[in-house]
Structure 1
Amino acid sequence: MNHPHSDLLSRRTSGVLLHITSLPGPNGSGDFGPAARHFVDWLTSAGQSLWQILPLSPAGPGNSPYQSVSAFAGSPLMVDLDDLWHQGWLPWMARKGFEHSRCDFERVAPWRMARLRKAWDGFTQQATPVCREALADFSTEQAHWLDDYALFMVLDERYGGPWSLWPEPLARRDAAALDAVREQAMHALGFWRFVQWRFWVQWQALRAYARDRGVQVVGDAPIFVAHHSADVWAHAGEFLLDDFGQPLVVAGVPPDYFSTTGQRWGNPLYNWEAMAHRGYRWWKDRLIHLFQQVDVVRLDHFRGFEAHWEIPASEPTAEAGRWQPGPGRAFFKAIEHELGRLPIIAEDLGLITPEVRTLREACGFPGMRILQFAFGGGPTNPYLPHNMERHTVAYTGTHDNATTVDWWANATALEKTSARDYLGPCVDTEPNWTLIRSLSQSIANTLVVPFQDVLGLDAEHRMNTPGRATDCWEWRFDWAQVDHRPAERLAAMTRAHGRWPVHR
């Protein structure tokens, strides 16, 4: 049995990359409120059939959604507060005058969390029996991850991180110690379940709104999880940890285009042997959960499933790491055996070996091609449109790249000459639209364009700079930046190049 959207990546489609937190709105960060539906309407008017987002999980250190406290939980910052007011659980509140152009997490997160706690208090006092039953049903259905997550968050508030330094009975998950916490902290545990329930209800309503208008959601699955997370705490035996719960080795990538010392991500590495012994149950549950939230999944750092860069935890940079084998084809066969063929995009950027390509092709997953990387190495560069394969997802850039306008402003003389020869002189005046048009005309089945490139925005609007610990993930736009022309241009291009949604 295959996923209902297993053929989506085999059709000619196009879409836009924009994270939820980048949406406009009065409460400091983008959320599931009216602006999200307005963006779906904008996508529809532009002839787009895909909305790609970043991970929906709570942001971690540096506000990164790739360093979350849970691979299953949704970000509390994405919960629409106005919905809680309409439900009668949250008193009306004065706005804080947050910035429109960025998410100031340091101010926004505490303020929004305080509002959510008020809503929980209101719910406990005023909720109807129907709502109480709905929360109870959700808590039961999601108990396989939600119970551990709620416990972890209560203990995190009490002791901080990392969890391996908590009192030993709690760090080692002694049953009696955990039962005592459950008995003492029933109200606090209820709060975390309540927030996840509202996240789920609101997100499913937004996703249904998008689906009814022919827009499918492309989600994101970071390959690794944070050490200080409910996942590692609850499943410590499936990670390479020492006797005290600390990572023995951590994840990253060797020196590359982005960093001369590589990237030391710091995530603990999986004990793939232990995971295989359990039939990869944790990964299966994770993907089942994620595919209940999105239609397509971008599988981050796909090459890590063939071989991953293992760095001794004591090393400050990634330079001293070494390649270690991943689970390979056996992992994906086990996933497919239980879940069927899934619509997955393999993020295969960086140092890609023939073995990684062989694994991706054996799995039947399309890879990613970034046009900003194309203008070097001559006509055989694999990122040039004429070298793309049909089963490919093409991007001008991703959340990790400069905006196309900024890329062009800082491109080398060689890159500019190569791009002019390939794309024509229009690249000088409209680099973003010139790259979009070239990819839209390409044979690649799937095209995804960051919203910053659709709007022609410069360096101030970059989402993330790999290896940089601050001032990332904060970008937001405002509808005042969006006139009628970008949607009209995208729609015309989508029609002309055979990417118009088939059911619209």
Structure 2
Amino acid sequence: MKRESGILMHISSLPNEFGIGSFGREAYEFVDFLELAGQKYWQILPLGHTSYGDSPYQCFSAFAGNPHFINLDTLSKKGYLKEEDYKDINFGEDKEKVDYALIFKKRNEILEIAYNNFYKEKNEDFEIFKKENSFWLDDYSLYMAIKESFDLKSFREWEDEKLVNRDEETLKEYREKLKERIEYYNFLQYEFFYEWSNLKEYANSKGIKIIGDLPIYVADDSADMWSNPKNFKVDSDNNLKVVAGCPPDAFAKTGQLWGNPIYDWDKMEKDGFDWWILRVKESLKIYDIIRIDHFRGFESYYEIPYGNKTAENGKWVKGPGIKLFNKIKESLGDVNVIAEDLGFMTKEVIDFRDETGFPGMKVLEFGFGGEDSTDLPHNYIENSIAYTGTHDNDTALGWFLSISEEEREKAIKYLKLDLNEGVSYGLIRGIWGSVSRLSIATMQDLLKLGTEARMNIPSTLGGNWQWRMKEGSLTKELAKNLYDMTKLYGRTN
């Protein structure tokens, strides 16, 4: 089995002048950097159309892409924008943080101009795209157009009850009334997938594979929930009966209340798990490997009665287990999946993961709290993916400065940390030298950044998903240092 490595950095974190990272020049330069540094993988967070809170794990559709990532220079080259439409606009003072409220307003105004210019021409590729993706695009674009007409409220707050319940005559009326807005959202998706497929093709041509993230759950405020409520645990009025979360533990005394709808697995099984097979199939069109978030939820998941203010009164319920993945394999063949198996793992969950054959995750930052943690490299197995930390962890440096003195001493001793080299590089060496077939470092750790560059603090709203890499960070020296380390540990094959 080949030993390889890669870097985790979301598209939003790429530098540019337009307020948020995109599929533009800087993305291609990042691919070139990975190639120069001997890396074989670029891992990103979910590419979905984010909703309130800006989390890529809460999206308006399980299939649609985030219009924020459409590159404005690309639209200009295609003749849909003039430079004066976007070049001198202020997208935020701090170039190393995303101001989501500001870019939502500014970028949408610019994308409207691009759409109006695009729509003047007849575009056969656009018509083909709409037809090929109608199974999700029709509901998504209609949902977004209606949502926009109701001040961006969730469908549960729409004033027209017939619309909420998808009365066919009412839907017909709204399709006609909002046909131009529906086409606008169709255009955004067309442009998103056009640009993303070109970027992915470029990465693949350089020997770089894309690891994409697949959230296990969908958001309640989504086209998926509105168009297919019977896929979820709902009552006769399609109101949620239970929601997803995590039980209380040492980190969260009242548990985590995520609020996502929970699948009606019995109903999905009767349908042959068609929705999940379709979701995985579509994901594998845009990623080379998918990392399934909260993988343990397929073995057993935690459900909380709808309306509860905390997660304390939830219970564990058995999931579909191996039956789902057997069906996926039967339909799609062997699929490249990474199982996000972090957190409390029972023997049943471990046995289930092993039965799928998917590699699990090891996070070095978790390794120093107990006696002999399975997150310490001497306990890794070959069929695993090793990380310094994930998007939910502090950066390596931030983590090192925040842990107890006892943990710090253990880390220094175990990794032979050289504070001149930098804590981050000590952790990268730790996983690069492990037996795991693939090791992934965050870009923040490669740049030796502290807590100020943390991507997300779980169970908090606001201030997350904002970090952006500083322009000029991708130096030849940085690439050479990473290449030398990667070669030293036999990961440049």
TM range (shorter): over 0.9
CA distance in structure 2 between the partners assigned to 1:285 and 1:250 by the alignment: 23
> How many Å apart are 1:383 and its aligned residue?
0.5
- Partner in structure 1 of residue 8 of structure 2: 17
Structure 1 partner of 2:81: 90
The equivalent position to 2:101 in structure 1, one of 103, 106, 113, is 106
Task: Return the alpha-carbon distance in structure 2 between the equivalents of residues 424 and 496 of structure 1.
Answer: 17
Whether the 8 Å CA contact 1:90–1:122 is kept in 2: the answer is yes
SS of alignment partner, residue 61 of structure 1:
coil
Residues 1:387 and 2:379 are matched in the alignment = yes
How far residue 429 of structure 1 moved from its aligned partner, in angstroms, is: 5.7
**CA separation in 1, counterparts of 2:250 and 2:340?**
16
Hey, what's the Cα distance between the residues in 2 that align with 1:265 and 1:124?
A: 39
Separation in 2 of the partners of 1:428 and 1:332?
47
For residues 257 and 225 of structure 1, what CA distance do their matches in structure 2 show? 27
CA distance in 2 between counterparts of 1:212 and 1:425 reads 37
2:108 aligns to what SS in structure 1? helix
- Show the counterpart of 2:217: 224
TM-score norm. by structure 2 comes to: 0.97
2:8 touches 2:42 (CA, 8 Å); kept in 1? yes
Give 3-state SS (helix, strand or coil) of 2:33's partner.
helix
Match for residue 135 of structure 1? 126
Deviations 1:426-446 (A, max 9, x none): 258621000100110110001
Alpha-carbon separation, structure 1, partners of 2:47 and 2:323: 28
CA distance, structure 1, for counterparts of residue 115 and residue 373 of structure 2: 55
Q: 1:170 maps to which residue? A: 163
Distance 1:412 1:369 in 2: 21
* TM-score, length-scaled by structure 1: 0.94
Alignment match of 1:447 (pick from 439, 448, 453): 439
Task: Give the one of 317, 320, 325 matched to 2:310.
Answer: 317
Listed as ranges, the matches of 1:304-343 within 5 Å are: 304-343=297-336
- Counterpart CA distance in 2 for 1:330 and 1:488 is 46
2:367 to 371, 374, 395: 374
Q: State the Cα distance separating 1:481 from its structure 2 match.
A: 3.6
What corresponds to 1:413 in structure 2? 405
| 2:47 match: secondary structure | coil
Where do 1:447-486 residues align within 5 Å? Answer: 447-486=439-478
Counterpart Cα distance in 2 of 1:481 and 1:149: 37
Check the 8 A contact 1:164/1:245 in 2, yes or no.
no
Alpha-carbon distance between aligned partners in 2 of 1:186 and 1:421, rounded to the nearest angstrom: 64
Alignment of 1:62-77 (within 5 A): 62-77=53-68
Q: CA deviation at 1:246?
A: 2.5
Alignment partners' CA distance in 1, 2:203 and 2:144: 31
**Contact between 1:219 and 1:298, CA under 8 Å: does it hold in 2?**
yes
Q: 1:361 aligns with which of 334, 340, 354?
A: 354
CA distance in 1, matches of 2:274, 2:250: 35
Q: CA deviation at 1:256?
A: 3.2
Partner of 1:4: none
Displacement of 1:482 in angstroms is 4.0
- 1:81 is aligned to 72
Residue 204 of structure 2 is aligned to residue 248 of structure 1 = no
Q: Distance in 1 between matches of 2:270 and 2:456?
A: 37
Whether 1:399 aligns to 2:408 is no
1:236 aligned to 2:229? yes
Residue 230 of structure 2 contacts residue 238 of structure 2 at CA under 8 Å; is this kept in 1?
no
The answer to whether the Cα contact below 8 Å between 1:240 and 1:247 also exists between their aligned partners in 2 is yes
Task: Indicate the SS of the match to 2:302.
Answer: strand
Of residues 173-182 and 348-357 in structure 1, the stretch that sits farther from structure 2 once superposed is 173-182
> 1:420 touches 1:427 (CA, 8 Å); kept in 2?
no
Is 1:120 equivalent to 2:112 in the alignment?
no
Superimposed CA distance per residue, residues 151-184 of structure 1 (whole angstroms, 9 cap, x where no aligned partner): 1001111123321232121111111111111122
Please say if residues 16 and 449 of structure 1, whose CA atoms lie closer than 8 Å, have aligned partners that are also in contact: yes
Is residue 280 from structure 1 mapped to residue 273 from structure 2 by the alignment?
Answer: yes
Code of the aligned partner of 1:358? D
8 Å Cα contact 1:376-1:418 kept in structure 2: no
Unaligned runs of 5+ in 2: none
SS at match of 1:470: coil
| SS state at 2:368 partner | coil
What's the secondary structure of 1:214's corresponding residue? coil
Distance (Å, rounded) in 2 between the aligned partners of 1:257 and 1:405:
23
Counterpart CA distance in 1 for 2:370 and 2:62 is: 38
Decide whether the 8 Å contact of 2:361 with 2:386 is kept in 1.
yes
Q: Is the 8 A contact 1:27 1:95 kept in 2?
A: no
Conserved 8 A contact 2:364-2:427: yes
Q: Which moved more, 1:339-348 or 1:424-433?
A: 424-433
- % identical aligned pairs: 40
Show the counterpart of 2:195. 202
Structure 1: 5+ residue runs without aligned partners?
1-9
Query: How far apart in 1 are the matches of 2:439 and 2:254?
Result: 32
The residue aligned with 2:480 is 488
Q: Is the CA contact 1:60–1:66 (under 8 Å) kept in the aligned structure 2?
A: no
Q: Secondary structure at the match of 1:32?
A: coil
Deviation per CA, 1:375-404: give whole Å up to 9, x if none. Answer: 1222x3101101000000000000000000
Distance 1:232 1:428 in 2: 52
Report if aligned partners of 1:251, 1:266 keep a CA contact under 8 Å in 2. Answer: yes
What amino acid is aligned across from residue 84 of structure 1 in structure 2? L
SS at match of 1:96: coil
- Counterpart contact for 1:396–1:404, Cα < 8 Å: yes
C-alpha distance in structure 2 between counterparts of 1:484 and 1:70, whole Å: 39
**Cα drift, residue 69 of structure 1:** 0.5
Conserved 8 A contact 1:419-1:427: no
Correspondence 1:9-48 to 2 at 5 A: 10-48=1-39
| 8 Å Cα contact 2:214-2:293 kept in structure 1 | yes
Moved more, 110-119 or 465-474: 110-119
